[in-house]
Structure 1
Amino acid sequence: MKIDAHQHFWKYNPTKHDWINEDMKVIRKNFLPDDLIPILKEFEIDGCVAVQADESFYETAFLIDLADEYPEIKAVVGWADLANDALDKDLDQFAKHPKLKGYREVLQSKPVEYMLRKDFIQGIEKIGKRGYTYDILIFHTQLEAALQFVKKAPEQPFVIDHIAKPNIKLGIWRDWKKEMAPLAEREYIYCKLSGMVTEADWKKWTAKDFQVYLEVALELFGPNRLMFGSDWPVCKVAAEYEQVLELVEKFTDRLSKSEKEAIMGNTAIEFYGI
């Protein structure tokens, strides 16, 4: 089974989605399952993981409702304020929804101290006890703090989104590799081959720009802890879906059949319990 392990849906609202700036105006519109499913079918992808793009309980409910309606949505990664004293009550609201598999916050927009707070770590422990995963959304500059963070929750299944957003545009990778390595040493941490085109030069990128990052990710995590994700529709600011897919498909063509199948779907199935 082939799975797109990272994509988003939204009904565009200029206030709620104020992060979509003028340079990203191509995605200033609604993106819903009826827009994505024909693309999945065209490229013989069996399903997707819908990941939060807005920090609200409405967002989690919105994605769950879509997942209930569309069988192609195999899993949902929702949002919760993990540092909230009333977290248990908040989690109870969605506890009966089988497609809700994990949670995420936009850590990339928060100070690094946030993920090291005692109340946040306690929140991670609470979702872990309920069997949920956690997607780590950070920039490469936050990797050192992320290492300290995951050390505090060694039983929690984590996945690093977008290979931690290295500076692909400038071709900077050695420090990124050095800081990713100790995270990859922990077998409970996975990584998504996603969100790469938006860290490159949107207008001038070539496939070669991503080679070293893909090589490093494979070296550090291995195929059984890597998963393909399109980051659709955000990817559209720099590339179409088929271009993003092609980058990972061509890279994995040299691997064994089982290794390629892991990256293109089986890792996501195992991690999210699809």
Structure 2
Amino acid sequence: MRSLLSGETDSLKCMPIGILRLTNLRRFDKFVVGGEGPGNASYFGDAMRLEFAKMKNLLLSKLSFDGEDRKVNDEDEQLLEALHPPPSLEELGILYYRGSIFPNSLISLTNLRTLKIRWGKNCEHLPALGKLQSLEKLTISDLRRVKTVGNEFLELEGSTDYDPSPSSSSSSSSSVTAFPKFKSLFIWKMSELVGWDYRITRKDNNSIMPRLSFMDIGNCPNMKKLPNYLLQTTTMQRLKIRNCPLLQERDGEGEDWRKISHIPHLRGI
């Protein structure tokens, strides 16, 4: 079997443990995580026995955490860490995740090209993804507690509070690139998100999303500023901003509109 198409099974609450013995699967469009309930001793142990990482041929998977409310949010964090998606994955979706942080195992997905994270009501920070060399497309929506996007998202080595002194800017000539192949970014329904706040030492030597060509931002009522790297880019071809009143203002808070007028291939906003 190469594909298991269970995406339309809304009532599905858990997966049989033995299903991951289908090691030739390449497409798993809905894998329900959990379903045994809190307080059960086997709840976390079963996830360990699933041995998800052994599915070395898997290219696409959506991890959907079961929809039942639980008091202990770190259960989802433990489950996601235990599952440890295989490094062969090229596309991954994480849905209804209730942890407040993401495990470090995500940065081991060295072949990942597309990542979608949706409906994470307790997430306070985005996962550290900047070192994923293959990532091209990222969708983030309904992460209700994320207020800023900062250095933890970029995962740049040596990132600290930015020191504007001349000595700090010339202290190193090494170059670091975050999201080197990144092309498309979708940000939707981030009710608390204010904007980007990067504080980086060796500012002139760092490159962020050098190939970004499409950005879609919608329903972010508190977002005030676009990231500086976007305002300096020459690769952007399409920028969409919808239902973001502070960004869409042409004066005052919306001064970023004037700063992007130099982008040569920008077709519309």
Q: TM tier, shorter chain?
A: 0.3 to 0.5
Q: Which entry has the higher C-alpha Rg, 1 or 2?
A: 2
Q: Answer 1 or 2: which has greater helix percent.
A: 1
Q: Answer 1 or 2: which has greater strand percent.
A: 2
